[in-house]
Amino acid sequence: MYIYFGIIVFVFGIVIGSFLNVCIYRIPKQQSIAYPPSHCTSCSSKLKWYDLVPILSYIILKGKCRYCKHNISIRYPILELITGLLYFFIYVKFGIGIVFMKYAVFISIMIVIGMIDFDTTDVYFKTIIVGIAASIIFLLLHYYSGEFIIDYIYGGIFGAGILSFIIVITKGGMGWGDMEICLVCGLFLGLKLTLVMLFLSFIIGAVIGIILILSGVKSRKDYIPFGPFVVMASVITVFVGQNILNWYL
């Protein structure tokens, strides 16, 4: 039973990943995520359902549009696969329940925000609004199941506060978009895990930043978006944040 649920969750995650691809592609272009239906970005041919089976269609079509043979980025199936795997691991760690839903929603929103930041170095306010709204729904669910929710509100205030402080003292070393991302993370993770997340994002940012500069991909003057590091740190925190805290304390 356990493994069947695991497979269902994995496939569900892949399908959601396919939707996240649409969001990541369309939101920066100010397009609706619901209309028009999926089409080739090169020849605009409307895609049939069998062109839209996540991962499998990509393999069958060998990464090319059925109609114009335009190359389709391998990023789409990879992101679908990663989303499926993350959903599977959330299920393995937390089982099926509110916590699963909460972290699945959280990680999905973070993937969209992080990838758009990576592509455009911008954070779109509508993605932040969705994050805040979703966090409020889960806060209410926590509240009505008798949990204290003040810790999550402190988490949001702390995440946003630390980033605001850094932005002000470094005069724009980071953007206000990063502050908004950390606000959403704080509301989902709570105070202690937000601390772990921030700590990890600075470490990941420093390590990847140094690698990018040493390898010549970026120069010291280039802007490297911080959002993707926050997203990576958040995903790690969901899975092992509590272990890191226990180990540290």
Summarize as ranges the residues that interact with Zn ion (CB under 5 A).
40, 42-43, 65, 67-68, 70
Beta carbon nearer to Zn ion, 70 or 126: 70
Q: Are 78 and 54 in contact (CB under 8 A)?
A: no
Beta carbon nearer to Zn ion, 64 or 192: 64
Residue 46 CB, shortest distance to Zn ion, in Å, is: 10
Residue 68 CB, shortest distance to Zn ion, in Å, is: 3
Q: Are 162 and 198 in contact (CB under 8 A)?
A: yes
Beta carbon nearer to Zn ion, 44 or 242: 44
Q: Rounded distance, CA 92 to CA 3, Å?
A: 10
Residue 74 CB, shortest distance to Zn ion, in Å, is: 16
Q: Rounded distance, CA 52 to CA 186, Å?
A: 35
Beta carbon nearer to Zn ion, 68 or 210: 68
Residue 63 CB, shortest distance to Zn ion, in Å, is: 12
Beta carbon nearer to Zn ion, 38 or 120: 38
Exposed (0-12), middle (13-18) or buried (19+): which is 24, by Cβ within 10 Å? buried
Q: Are 21 and 107 in contact (CB under 8 A)?
A: no
What's the Cα-to-Cα distance from 183 to each of 55, 68, 161, 194, 208, rounded to whole Å?
33, 43, 8, 9, 23
Strand partners, 64: 71
- Which of 32-38's residues contact partners 24+ apart within 8 Å by CB, and which partners? none
